[in-house]
Amino acid sequence: MRDSNASEGERVPRSDEADNAPTAELPAVTDRNGPARTGRAAPGVDPNRVRAIPEAAVARLAVYLRVLSAMAEHGAVTVSSEELSSASGVNSAKLRKDLSYVGSYGTRGVGYEVDVLTAEIERVLGLTRKQKVAVVGIGNLGHALANYGGFPGRGFPVEALFDVDADLVGVPVGGMPVSHIDDIPKVCAQRGIAIGVIATPPAAAQSVCDRLVQGGVQCILNFAPVVLRTPPHVEVRKVDLAIELQILSFHVARKTEQRTRRRVPAARASSNGEVV
Amino acid sequence: MRDSNASEGERVPRSDEADNAPTAELPAVTDRNGPARTGRAAPGVDPNRVRAIPEAAVARLAVYLRVLSAMAEHGAVTVSSEELSSASGVNSAKLRKDLSYVGSYGTRGVGYEVDVLTAEIERVLGLTRKQKVAVVGIGNLGHALANYGGFPGRGFPVEALFDVDADLVGVPVGGMPVSHIDDIPKVCAQRGIAIGVIATPPAAAQSVCDRLVQGGVQCILNFAPVVLRTPPHVEVRKVDLAIELQILSFHVARKTEQRTRRRVPAARASSNGEVV
DNA sequence: TAGCGCTTGTGAACGCGTGCACAAAATCCG
DNA sequence: CGGATTTTGTGCACGCGTTCACAAGCGCTA
Ligand SMILES: NC(=O)c1ccc[n+]([C@@H]2O[C@H](COP(=O)([O-])OP(=O)(O)OC[C@H]3O[C@@H](n4cnc5c(N)ncnc54)[C@H](O)[C@@H]3O)[C@@H](O)[C@H]2O)c1
Ligand SMILES: NC(=O)c1ccc[n+]([C@@H]2O[C@H](COP(=O)([O-])OP(=O)(O)OC[C@H]3O[C@@H](n4cnc5c(N)ncnc54)[C@H](O)[C@@H]3O)[C@@H](O)[C@H]2O)c1
């Protein structure tokens, strides 16, 4: 996904390490290792195993978390891998493999305790500490993001808003006044903001990104359809809706093409000889 | 990469065909979304198969398209794989491999003609025919989507809006009046809408999805944080912003954990001698 | 307590995507 | 006109993620 949106993780290294960089693409996901704190790594497990969690698995763990929380609200106490996987839309073997990255918190013959599993996934995903979010570009999309209750509700309080528009500065949006983009570095550093969301026009995105980095922001979620250049330590994820639509469009085209081909058996051959 | 988005189209097959689902995702990647080739996922060997383009490659092709269009505006006539790849944030070998799925339209020693390459990628992605889009749920997000010029501008005209709210029905948003969700099947079928975008509250998403499918929609872009169940022929991609934030949060956690461990030299060395 | 049925956890195989490295092709230039 | 130069296109190898299949483990029951 994957990604991403799967599909994804397209970070461009800044200038210096420009060309031969192995970089980007699946930026070396993890190596968390076992015990650390919080407790007993599963008994009998290789003591100092350094395990990397595939990014795709991280994305799915977040889905499991959402499903688990819905199940908990519904009163469920335990859940089997079969139930959880079908509710999450994945294969049960894959689910168990994903959970094995988290640790061994299931009971054979029974399943998983919903609250335990929830807590452990949250621990691994680093959700025990709330990450503060700043939104830059309070236009159509920025307004929606600022008003959205789903972020604070999931441990991502929106603690700063920025725009360049003088008419917007000072105006409260979603209960938070908009600041000017010149203050991005200062405000982000002061408030300890970890995640920056860019919802500005594409032309402004890179400069906004630079200021966020300057302010100590560690991750960026980018809605502007441009490739951002960042230093290696900053993680970037992009959400490009036009690309999503184009991927869907591709599938439509493929399907209708197949259907047409089936109806008209004598299709032409393309230049490279393959049947089209 | 999903992630992304994934990526990562997590479609759950409707009841009947339970396990062998092609899945697709990543997010992603993308990532974005994820794996699963675009060719027929048929278990049997399809002899004269359509060239299967990896979904990740499709996502990147869409990026190349955007970059190419920017280059064309800038007056570029030809472009080398090196230029295009660095502007797109990918490895040049990968870019050439991606383009090879499209065909051989480059000139060795020179590069690619911008307009030719653009046209060929558009052809492969099925962008030669405009795909009509409907947006359901004209709230915060739906408003932003309906007002967004980037969709029509890229060949995805928004041709219908729907909401359940009686106060909204009939009101024009972004130049298009809102219809009632009960009319989804009828209107979608009439106007030949291919892509449905779901921006309703999670609880309403599945029923909206069902109606879109009923109206003949072939693809769905889902913003509601729920797993949609659809018949096998309907392609679903999800955009879950909370999951994006959680993935970023995971990276933050990993980094700070590493940093902490490094500061506390009591850390053990792993068996293979590498510093942990 | 022993046996049985159920579910977890994971080793191992497989398949796919990525990156490397180079031959092929086309242009440039002397 | 032939060699040097540039850049494409791709065969191949490697590594990661997915999937299978099953042993290990736990609770229940007799
Ligand atoms: N609206 C959507 O549904 C949608 C969908 C996909 C992508 N996007 C992308 O998201 C971004 C925002 O879209 P939008 O529809 O909200 O645009 P918008 O024009 O409504 O809002 C942009 C906002 O950014 C502000 N801005 C302009 N320059 C700025 C700068 N240098 N620093 C800070 N703020 C600045 C503007 O004042 C405005 O408030 C765009 O890049 C767009 O391509 C939007
Ligand atoms: N706003 C964001 O930035 C954001 C971010 C991430 C995810 N989302 C998700 O996107 C979806 C929409 O978010 P929003 O902020 O726009 O919500 P919203 O409450 O502002 O808007 C929801 C709209 O859907 C309409 N609606 C309710 N039930 C409906 C039904 N059965 N059929 C059709 N329409 C119906 C409502 O009338 C309303 O207009 C939600 O699922 C939310 O979780 C939103």
* CB contact (8 A) between residue B249 and residue A195: yes
- Cβ A4–B141 below 8 Å, yes or no? no
**Class level of CATH domain B133-239:** alpha beta
pLDDT at A2 over 80: no
Plot region of A148 (φ>0 → left; ψ -120 to 50 → alpha; else → beta): beta
On chain A, the residues whose CB falls within 8 A of the CB of B246 are 58, 62, 65, 125, 127, 154
Using the Cβ of A72 and the Cβ atoms of chain B, whether some distance falls under 8 Å is answered with no
**Cis peptide before B31, with omega less than 30 degrees from 0?**
yes
Selected residue of B12, B16, B29 to mutate for chain A interface (largest A Cβ count, 10 A): B29
Q: Which ligand is nearest to the CA of B146?
A: 1
Question: What is the chain B residue with the closest CA to A24?
Answer: B90
pLDDT higher than 80, residue A257: no
pLDDT of residue B4: 39
pLDDT at A27 over 80: no
Cα–Cα distance for residue pair A217/A213, rounded to 1 Å: 5
Please give the pLDDT value at position A66. 96
Indicate the residue of B31, B82, B140 with minimum beta-carbon distance to A6. B31
Min distance B193 CA to chain A CA atoms (Å) = 12
Residue A210 has pLDDT above 80, yes or no: yes
Rounded CA separation A5/B31 (Å): 3
Rounded to whole angstroms, the Cα distance separating B45 from B40 reads 10
Where are the domains positioned within chain A?
Answer: 55-125, 133-239, 243-272
Predicted local distance difference test score (pLDDT) of residue A9: 39
pLDDT band at A51 (very low <50, low <70, confident <90, very high): low
CB A225 within 8 A of CB A201: no
CA distance B247 to A45: 26
Nucleotide nearest A54 (Cα, C1'): D17
- In the chain, the amino acid numbered B218 is Q
B201 C-beta closer than 6 A to ligand 2:
yes
The span from the CA of B87 to the CA of B21, in Å, is: 36
User: How high is the pLDDT of residue B12?
Assistant: 54
Find the distance separating the first CA and the last CA of chain A, reported in whole Å. Answer: 28
pLDDT in tens, A145-160: 999 999 999 999 999 9
Predicted TM-score (pTM) of the model is 0.86
Q: How far is the CA of A83 from the C1' of D20 (A)?
A: 19
- The pLDDT of residue A52 is 80
Tell me whether residues B255 and A218 touch, CB distance under 8 A: yes
**Among candidates A86, A106, A94, which has minimal Cα distance to A59?**
A94
Region for residue B24 given its phi and psi (left: phi exceeds 0; alpha: psi -120 to 50; beta: otherwise):
left
- Res A127 pLDDT > 50: yes
Within an 8 Å CB–CB cutoff, is residue A275 touching chain B? yes
How far apart, in whole angstroms, are the C-alpha atoms of residue B66 and residue A202?
12
Residue A219 pLDDT more than 90?
yes
- pLDDT score of A252: 87
- The per-residue pLDDT string of chain B (276 residues; one tens digit each, 9 = 90 and over) reads 333 343 333 445 454 333 333 333 223 223 333 334 444 333 333 333 445 799 999 999 999 999 999 999 999 999 999 999 999 999 999 999 999 999 999 999 999 999 999 999 999 999 999 999 999 999 999 999 999 999 999 999 999 999 999 999 999 999 999 999 999 999 999 999 999 999 999 999 999 999 999 999 999 999 999 999 999 999 999 999 999 999 999 988 887 776 676 665 433 333 333 332
Residue B171 CB in 7 A reach of strand D:
no
Indicate the CATH number of B55-125 among 1.10.600.10, 3.40.50.11890, 3.40.50.1220, 1.10.10.10: 1.10.10.10
Q: Across the interface, do B218 and A251 touch by the CB < 8 Å criterion?
A: yes
- Rg, chain B, Cα only: 22
The verdict on the CB of residue B178 being under 6 Å from ligand 2 is no
Tokens encoding B128: 């030669």
Nearest one of A196, A239, A236, A243 to A215, comparing CA atoms? A196
The residue-averaged pLDDT of A250-263 equals 76
Angle (CA) B72 A200 A173, round 5°: 160
On whether any CB of chain B is under 8 Å from the CB of A52, the answer is no
Cα separation, A183 vs A258, in Å, equals: 54
Nearest ligand 1 atom, CA A143: 16
Quick one: which of B86, B32, B195 has its CA closest to A239? B32
**Which residue, B110, B265, B247, is CA-closest to A238?**
B247
Q: What integer pLDDT is reported at residue A263 of this predicted model?
A: 62
Say yes or no: CB of residue B250 within 6 Å of ligand 1.
no
Task: Please answer whether residues A23 and A17 qualify as being in contact, where contact means their C-beta atoms are separated by less than 8 angstroms.
Answer: yes
- Average of per-residue pLDDT across A80-91: 96
What average pLDDT is seen over chain A? 81
pLDDT at B51: 55
Indicate yes or no: CB of B33 within 8 angstroms of CB of A274. Answer: no
Please list, in sequence order, all residues whose beta carbon lies within 8 angstroms of the beta carbon of residue A171, skipping any fewer than 6 positions away: A177, A178
Atom 37 in ligand 2: which residue has the minimum CA distance? B165
Which among B167, B163, B172, B164 has a CA at the least distance from the CA of B135?
B163
DSSP letters spanning B111-146: EEEHHHHHHHHHHHHTTTS---EEEE--SHHHHHHH
Buried/exposed A33-59: b ≥16 CB within 10 Å, e otherwise? beeeeeeebeeeeeeeeeeebebbbbb
- Asked if pLDDT for residue A38 goes beyond 70, the answer is no
Return the DSSP state at A5: B
Nearest nt to the B23 alpha carbon by C1': D18
Q: Give yes or no on whether A55-125 and A133-239 have one common fold.
A: no
Average pLDDT of span A128-139: 96
Nearest CA to ligand 1 atom 6: A241
Residue A221, pLDDT > 80, answer: yes
- Residue B195 sits at the chain A interface (C-beta within 8 Å): yes
Rounded to 10°, the helix A114-125/B241-263 angle is 70
| More confidently predicted of A67 and A3 | A67
* Averaged pLDDT for residues A52-72: 95
**B9 C-beta less than 7 Å away from strand D:** no
Q: What is the CA radius of gyration of chain A?
A: 22
Q: Is A24 helix (H, G, I), strand (E, B) or coil?
A: coil
Contacts of B4 in chain A (CB under 8 A): 1-9, 59, 237
Task: Provide the pLDDT for residue B253.
Answer: 85
How many residues can be counted in chain A? 276
Token pair of B138 as six digits: 């004209």
Q: What is the pLDDT of residue B252?
A: 87
